Amino acid sequence: MQRRAFLQTAPILLSPALAARPSPAGAQQGFPDKPLRYIVPVAPGGGSDLVGRTVCERWSRLLGQQIVVENQGGGGGVIACQSTARAAPDGYTLMQGYVATHGTSPATRKVPYDPIKDFTPIGMIGATPNILVIDPKLPVKDFKEFVAYLKANQGKISYGSAGAGSLTHLTMELMAQQLGTPLTHVAYRGVAPALTDVIGSQTQAAFPGLAASLQHIRSGRLRALAITGKSRASQMPDVPTLEELGLPNFDAVQWYGVVGPAGIPPEVVRKLNDTLNAVLKAPDMREKLAGEAVEPMPMTAAEFGAYMQRDLSRWTELAKAQNISLD
């Protein structure tokens, strides 16, 4: 009798304690109920910063909360990645991850974070392709002739990149690996001086992002031969993709996406992903991002996570094969 009486009264005795404890599910249902922090891992004013601010302006309206954009440049994105990874996994701290922070840098050097395990993928924003450009003074009119020229002049052709370990470096190394034609790498501090030296015939080729090279191609100071990605760029419809030309695994692009610290609740991730994708699917968003030649690429959080893993694997394998290590 005493045991039965206790079991009958136990729910009554416990209920005040349970009622006083906040419900995680209930807290998530009200998300977001305060401003969000959005870390961009570069200094203000560049293309990546523009992409982040353009997206956040629309995204904040859908979420009904302000999104405070915070630039944390330095360390090639390391500072921003560490700051994000250490934040509370509640969805209020997000970061604009991109190919350097979650692909090329971890592939070529030791970084104080795990690009996969330390983050929750939220969604892809979009990407811009890289484009193979050459000095127009070379006796080459298309990619086939360029390959023949490389093979006939092995050891004599140099190319410029935005820096060792950058996407502009690794993309050219991936092409050289597949063609079996080694090229001499000249690392610059940024893509602008690298392109200046191609235009000035100091080097013969480069693999910059489309946005950085578009005006030089249109003016005739650079000749475009091929482009990365799954499809041709709308700005350069006559330039074939490298996959069209027979080189596999060349869907490599300069991508931008959103991540948060590991452990963000699925319900919060779902809301962030749904609203982000709604922003990207707006009819005028493609036009808004066109200045950086970024094509919106909405994905589910799971699809974006798989994309990051594949990209990291691609560059890690290349770095090992080509003995590229910056440590």
Is the model's pLDDT at 87 over the cut of 60?
A: yes
Is the model's pLDDT at 26 over the cut of 80?
A: no
Burial of 244 (0-12, 13-18, 19+ CB in 10 A): middle
CATH architecture observed for domain 131-227: 3-Layer(aba) Sandwich (3.40)
Given a contact cutoff of 8 angstroms between Cβ atoms, the answer to whether 93 and 264 are in contact is no
**pLDDT for the residue numbered 74:** 87
The angle subtended at Cα 307 by Cα 263 and Cα 95, nearest 5°, is: 50
Q: What percent of the chain has pLDDT over 90?
A: 86
CB count, 10 Å around CB of 318? 20
Give the pLDDT confidence of 131-169 residue by residue, as tens digits.
999 999 999 999 999 999 999 999 899 999 999 999 999
Please give the residue that has the higher pLDDT: either 240 or 24.
Answer: 240
Give the pLDDT confidence of 204-217 residue by residue, as tens digits.
999 999 999 999 99
Pinpoint the alpha helices (H) of the chain: 2-20, 24-29, 47-63, 78-85, 99, 105-108, 143-152, 167-179, 191-199, 210-219, 266-280, 285-289, 301-321
CA distances from 145 to 141, 152, 220 (A): 6, 10, 18
**End-to-end alpha-carbon separation of the chain, Å?**
73
Confidence of residue 16 (pLDDT cuts 50, 70, 90): very low
What mean pLDDT do residues 164-179 have? 96
Is the model's pLDDT at 28 over the cut of 80?
A: no
For the chain, the structural domain boundaries read 35-127+253-321, 131-227
**pLDDT for the residue numbered 291:** 85
Give the pLDDT confidence of 30-77 residue by residue, as tens digits.
999 999 999 999 999 889 999 999 999 999 999 999 999 999 998 889
**Average pLDDT of the chain to the nearest whole number:** 91
CA distance 169 to 165: 6
The SS3 of residue 309 is: helix
Does the fold of domain 131-227 match that of domain 35-127+253-321?
Answer: yes
What mean pLDDT do residues 277-281 have? 98
Is the model's pLDDT at 324 over the cut of 80?
A: yes
What mean pLDDT do residues 236-259 have? 94
Q: Name the CATH superfamily for 35-127+253-321.
A: Bordetella uptake gene, domain 1 (3.40.190.150)
User: Global pTM?
Assistant: 0.88
Which of the residue ranges 102-106, 283-287, 296-300, 318-322 would you say has the lowest mean pLDDT? 283-287
Name the token pair of 243: 């996959």
CA distance 69 to 6: 55
Given a contact cutoff of 8 angstroms between Cβ atoms, the answer to whether 215 and 131 are in contact is no
Long-range contacts: 189-195, Cβ < 8 Å, 24+?
Answer: 189/162, 189/163, 190/162, 190/163, 191/161, 191/162, 193/160, 194/160, 194/161, 194/162, 194/168, 195/133, 195/160, 195/222
Confidence of residue 251 (pLDDT cuts 50, 70, 90): confident
**pLDDT for the residue numbered 327:** 86
Confidence of residue 23 (pLDDT cuts 50, 70, 90): very low
CA distances from 83 to 2, 89, 106, 112, 113 (A): 56, 12, 17, 11, 10
**pLDDT for the residue numbered 12:** 31
Name the token pair of 72: 């944390």
